[in-house]
């Protein structure tokens, strides 16, 4: 029983830190509100969709910026997409990193775009790893609760 | 032969009942090119007890409504699907949400009466104005929240009840609980039966403050 309380506390503290450090914002809370018994995996499902989407876009951005002639309009459209989806799941720092990126696209500033891409990639990998950790903790807590139920 | 006729008639009654079941369940058509956003809006609507159809483009939306291509508008009946509300993203490849809005409002049938709400991640005043002038019921800033959906649902359901008194109560209330910064929504809350007068709709304080901050 003690182990479970420990896990709960860890989960609580970890989640709080993600908000404090700005990795997540209120929109993530909104997603949690949409999860219930009928949709117990909603948050993981949406976040997973976001991961797939983000990785696809980041690859596109990398390829686009490697071209001889860069299509800034297309670049901007992709950044806009990423900005939108990160905002929809509450990935605040990724969302914010997309803002200067869009400005550089408008200015057709290649250096700026390259730097921004690095920044966005960095923020993305951070939030991905943190969310994966969060989900793992939730799984452990769930497993621990189920184990408790088995004890007669 | 008589038996077949009976079966047909009972099915007909069911169909008609379904299309009139707007009493408790609103049917919302959501349009968004983002997979993540589609999943979120679908859940937001379902958890608010709405029947949901989500499509990925304006074209698909028109197809679903039966307004695409052949130009023949099927009346609400066997082929028609009753939709109580359309929520569409603004920026979409191909046909934008704004263009979809215009198309729907150009229909000279029941489709024109369907309230259309625009969703956008960008708080651009000219964009908001344009949409409202074209007949959008509301403009929601993304990410859309549960409270936005609830408010919308209340509005649509009350719109079904032609009560002018309730409407003015609603207007006062909406100006009272304007939420600051993050989820600024422009809400003229026009009654469906009011004559189109978007240019002269009373501005809610939230709009005024957002306009002021731009000066």
Q: Which residues of A touch B37 (CB under 8 A)?
A: 84-85, 88
pLDDT reading at B202 higher than 80: no
> What's the confidence (pLDDT) of residue B80?
56
What's the pLDDT band for A27 if we cut at 50, 70, 90? very high
pLDDT digits (tens, 9 = 90+) for B92-131: 999 999 999 999 999 867 899 999 999 999 999 999 999 9
d(CA B112, CA B130): 17
Compare all CA atoms of chain B with the CA of A36 and give the residue at the minimum distance. Answer: B47
Q: Which residues of B touch A131 (CB under 8 A)?
A: none
Answer whether A142 touches B (CB < 8 Å): no
Question: What's this model's pTM, rounded to 2 decimal places?
Answer: 0.77
Phi, psi of B142 (to 5 degrees): -80, 155
Q: Which residues of A touch B120 (CB under 8 A)?
A: none
pLDDT reading at B19 higher than 80: no
Q: Which member of A27, A39, A53 has the closest CB to residue B143?
A: A27
CB A90 within 8 A of CB A25: yes
Q: Which residues of B touch A50 (CB under 8 A)?
A: 36
CA atoms within 13 A on the CB side of B27: 14
Query: Of the candidates A75, A27, A74, which has an alpha carbon nearest to the alpha carbon of residue B36?
Result: A27
More confident residue, B164 or A16: A16
CB contact under 8 A, B142 and A36: no
What's the pLDDT band for A136 if we cut at 50, 70, 90? very high
Answer whether A29 touches B (CB < 8 Å): no
d(CA B145, CA B123): 16
d(CA B162, CA B52): 25
The interface pTM score, or ipTM, of the predicted complex is 0.93
Structure token pair of residue A89: 């799941």
CB contact under 8 A, A88 and B182: no
d(CA A17, CA B5): 67
Decide if domain A43-137 falls under CATH 1.20.120.160.
yes
Answer whether A106 touches B (CB < 8 Å): no
Other CB atoms within 10 A of residue B194 CB: 13
pLDDT reading at A29 higher than 60: yes
More confident residue, B127 or B12: B127
């Amino acid at each position: 029983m003690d182990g479970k309380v420990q896990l709960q506390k860890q989960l609580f503290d970890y989640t709080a830190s993600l908000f404090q450090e700005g990795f997540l914002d209120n929109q993530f809370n909104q997603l949690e509100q949409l999860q219930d018994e009928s949709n117990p995996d909603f948050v993981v499902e949406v976040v997973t969709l976001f991961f797939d989407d983000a990785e696809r876009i980041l690859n596109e951005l990398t390829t686009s910026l490697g071209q001889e002639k860069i299509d800034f309009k297309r670049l901007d459209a992709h950044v806009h997409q990423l900005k939108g989806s990160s905002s929809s799941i509450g990935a605040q720092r990724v969302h914010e990193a997309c803002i200067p990126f869009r400005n550089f696209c408008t200015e057709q500033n290649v250096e700026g775009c390259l730097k921004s891409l690095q920044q966005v990639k960095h923020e993305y990998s951070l939030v991905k790893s943190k969310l994966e950790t969060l989900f793992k903790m939730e799984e452990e807590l769930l497993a621990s609760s189920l184990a408790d139920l088995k004890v007669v | 032969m008589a038996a077949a006729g009976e079966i047909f008639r009972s099915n007909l009654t069911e169909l008609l009942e379904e299309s009139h079941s707007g009493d408790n369940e609103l049917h919302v058509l959501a349009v968004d090119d983002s997979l993540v956003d589609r999943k979120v809006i679908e859940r937001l609507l379902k958890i608010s007890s709405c029947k949901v159809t989500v499509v990925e483009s304006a074209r698909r939306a028109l197809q679903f409504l039966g307004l695409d291509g052949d130009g023949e508008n099927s009346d609400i009946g066997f082929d028609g699907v009753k939709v109580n509300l359309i929520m569409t993203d603004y920026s979409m490849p191909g046909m934008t949400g704004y263009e979809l809005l215009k198309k729907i409002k150009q229909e000279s049938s029941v489709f024109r009466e369907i309230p259309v709400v625009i969703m956008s991640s960008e708080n651009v005043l000219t964009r908001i104005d344009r949409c409202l002038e074209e007949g959008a019921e509301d403009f929601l800033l993304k990410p859309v929240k549960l409270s936005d959906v609830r408010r919308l649902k209340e509005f649509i359901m009350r719109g079904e009840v032609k009560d002018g008194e309730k409407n003015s109560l609603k207007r006062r209330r909406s100006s009272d609980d304007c939420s600051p910064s993050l989820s600024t929504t422009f809400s003229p809350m026009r009654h469906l039966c009011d004559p189109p007068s978007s240019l002269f709709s009373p501005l809610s304080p939230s709009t005024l403050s957002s306009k002021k901050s731009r000066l």
